[in-house]
Amino acid sequence: MSDAPSPHLAAYEVVIRPNRSWLSIDWRALFEFRDLLVLLVRRDFVSKYRQTVLGPAWFVLQPLLTTVVFTVMFNQVARISTDGVSPTLFYLCGLLGWNYFSQNFTVAAATFTTNSALFSKVYFPRLLVPLSIVISNFAAFALQLATFFAFYVGFKLAGTGGNTHLSWAAALLPLLVLQTAAISLGASLWMAALTAKYRDLTHLIPFIIQLWMFASFVIVPLSAVPAKWQWVAQFNPMASVVEAFRFSLLGVGTLTPVSITTSALITLFMLFSGVFIFQRTERTFIDTV
């Protein structure tokens, strides 16, 4: 009996080689592991609210409770202006983009530390993990956006919404969401690379989020800042994003072509530099676990 291979079996070989340059992105690998990306998205969404009483309802309750606190503390007590619109709508709108950003950053920033056991056992593009977090959190954003529109319609019908109106920029809302995702992904990739080497930096993540929120003018409108100092906010891309959400959905906000362009350029820099430093870290991370 001959040991020769059957002519009907196609000959093939698999070549496994390291990525020699951390300045390149293996798009083909990301596409080939798209099924794993779907599974990771499902895992992130299901595990977050498993064994909870209210489940996904927390997506809606969290911004509502935060809005109540902001309204009482900063509008009723501190008397901080809300640009002539209802405080409820002002804070709900500001929290739309911010909550999406903070949820992405908080979880994805610990990619290496929380997935070290998985990374040490099986190979797949590590970038899939933070990508899955950004995609899965979009479900929470969609629910919060629907909640905002429900309150918007209610306030409009009751005549208590103040000087609010949907502007033409509402058609560009998908671009704002995409930019928010890019900022959060880039920032979290940088933080993931840093925490992989310096584990104690994970304790700074909550502090960074709180400080970044105040710097993004979620609570205080940018118009409350003296004009000569507003240019400083341009170096925080989330400040322009929050203002753009309010301009699109409420018709109020301080936006200029310069601030929009600066925010977009910084977003691109954060995203691409974050991907590069993340890939550089993933090459040696397992050796240090």
pLDDT tens-digit map of 95-139: 999 999 999 999 999 888 888 887 778 888 888 989 999 999 998
Q: How far apart are CA 180 and CA 154, in angstroms?
A: 27
pLDDT level of residue 286 (50, 70, 90 thresholds): low
Q: How far apart are CA 146 and CA 150, in angstroms?
A: 6
pLDDT of 84 reads 83
Structure-token pair, residue 90:
């002002």
- The H helix count followed by the E strand count for the chain is 13, 0
Structure-token pair, residue 246:
């309010």
pTM of the model: 0.85
pLDDT of 238 reads 94
Average pLDDT in the 214-224 region? 88
Q: For the segment 145-164, what is each residue's pLDDT rounded down to a tens digit? A: 999 999 998 988 887 767 77
Residue 44 has pLDDT above 60, yes or no: yes
Q: Are 177 and 100 in contact, with CB atoms under 8 Å apart? A: yes
- With tokens 């020769």, the residue in question is 4
